[in-house]
């Protein structure tokens, strides 16, 4: 009589998932094809540079200051990014500081990341970056201070209450489960 093999399923969080189809590329049977959506942009200043991708650097797009600003340590303000946008239907925008924003300017974004939904689309709905200064600093027109990407809206969720999730605990919040 052959020995029976026991198969143990991994907890859901350790199972290999299909690669997500968001971002700038979708993978289909080994071939890469670009996805494209139209983002309408109204520039409120001729001084700021136009939005563009930095090739080979991912799909986040830098946003620039549209104003000169002196900010004192401990001060909160909103820096104009000088543009209004109309997102493609079914999308929202995430706005976050660039990795160098704190180092270069001593600024943090208190609501990081900022979320812009598709209803914020009027001619005068100008994008702003709310900042808190941890040191005295100066911002100049065209300083790259934050970045954005757009994401599809999440699907409508149905909440199901359960007594147990039937998975192994990973080790608590802030743990990877690896010692």
Active site residues: 117
Q: How far apart are CA 45 and CA 84, in angstroms?
A: 11
Three-state DSSP at 77 gives: strand
Q: The tokens of 57 are what?
A: 């650097």
Full DSSP string of 76-102: EEEEE--EEEEPPTTEEEEEEE-TTHH
Q: What angle do CA 27, 95, 41 make, to 5 degrees?
A: 85
The two counts, helices (H) then strands (E), for the chain are 1, 13
Is-contact 63 93, C-beta < 8 A? no
């Amino acid at each position: 009589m052959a020995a029976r093999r026991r198969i143990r399923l991994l907890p859901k969080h350790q199972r290999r998932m299909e690669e997500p189809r968001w971002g700038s590329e979708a993978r289909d049977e080994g071939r890469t094809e670009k996805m494209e959506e139209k983002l309408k942009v109204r520039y409120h200043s001729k001084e700021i540079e136009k939005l563009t991708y930095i090739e080979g650097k991912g799909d986040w797009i830098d946003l620039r200051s549209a104003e000169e600003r002196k900010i004192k340590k401990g001060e909160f303000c909103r820096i104009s990014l000088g543009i209004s946008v109309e997102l493609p239907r079914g999308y929202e925008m995430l706005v976050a500081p660039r990795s160098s924003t704190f180092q270069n300017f001593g600024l943090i974004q208190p609501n990081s990341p900022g979320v812009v939904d598709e209803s914020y689309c009027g001619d005068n709905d100008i994008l702003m970056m709310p900042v808190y200064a941890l040191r005295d600093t100066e911002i100049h027109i065209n300083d790259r201070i934050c970045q954005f990407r757009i994401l599809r809206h999440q699907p409508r969720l149905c909440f199901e209450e359960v007594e147990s999730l039937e998975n192994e605990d990973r080790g608590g919040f802030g743990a990877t489960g690896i010692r």
